[in-house]
Structure 1
Amino acid sequence: MRSPLRGWRLLLFARCDDASQTESDEWDGPVGRDRWWAARLHRLSCGPCRREAKQMRWLRRLLTSAPDKVRVAEVNETTAPPLSPEAAERIRQSLAAARDSEQA
């Protein structure tokens, strides 16, 4: 069973690492109420953590407002420029030389 004081300890002794981790975890989904409050109260008293939270909110707003073409960069055979035969041969030779030097 969970100790009822666990949440209070989090609120009173939250560190910058905890607040930063909570802020990061909020990107993945909702976090527990006690963690959220601990990070929130920590940010009230910690200037660097307040700035980090503000920057994270700005970054989230920027990423969600970006067009889909910018957000998802897909590279496949149709979008990547093809290699010249000479370049492909140089790569093959370099890989073979590296493989030979590893075996020696």
Structure 2
Amino acid sequence: MVQGEPVDVRKLARQIKMILTLRCDEASRLMSDSFDRPLNWDEWLALHGHWIPCRVCRTFKKQMQAVVETTRRRSDRNDSSEVCLSPDAKARIRAAIRHCRESS
């Protein structure tokens, strides 16, 4: 927020509500999103604030980090026997996963 810039009170209220009331299912979605894009300040704050009291989500975070690190290590190997996906195929898979999350 820039000094002198008008404040959108409704948007600010939504951001504060998300920070204070983030549920585990929303936290898991944000964790997943954080591997694909940088989180907004309110998303980041809500997620980190949620991890403080929630042991289950802290454990899930560690598990997701392990999966991502393992996947990255495998992709760094340049083994010609591994199947490589095109950027288009990766985008379709991401879209399908997001669609499934939104549907449930």
TM-score where L is the length of structure 2: 0.62
- What do residues 51-103 of structure 1 show as CA deviations (whole Å, max 9, x unaligned)? 000111111111111223389425xxxxxxxxxxxxxxxxxxxxxxxxxxxxx
For 1:5 and 1:71, how far apart are their aligned partners in 2? 52
What percentage of residue pairs aligned between the two structures are identical? 30
Report the 3-state secondary structure (helix = DSSP H, G, I; strand = E; otherwise coil) of the residue aligned with 1:73. coil
For 1:27 and 1:16, how far apart are their aligned partners in 2? 17
Gaps of 5+ in 1: 75-104
Matched, 1:45 2:53: yes
Distance 1:72 1:43, change over 3 A: farther
Name 1:69's counterpart in structure 2. 79
Number of residue-to-residue matches in the alignment: 74
Distance 1:61 1:10, change over 3 A: same
Gaps of 5+ in 2: 1-7, 85-104
For 2:80 and 2:60, how far apart are their aligned partners in 1? 24
TM-score where L is the length of structure 1: 0.62
User: Over the residues paired in the alignment, what is the CA RMSD in angstroms?
Assistant: 2.1
For 2:81 and 2:14, how far apart are their aligned partners in 1? 39
For 1:24 and 1:70, how far apart are their aligned partners in 2? 28
Name 2:44's counterpart in structure 1. 36
Matched, 1:54 2:87: no
- Runs of 4+, deviation exceeding 3 Å: none
Contact 1:19 1:42 in 2 (8 A): yes
Q: Which has the larger radius of gyration?
A: 1
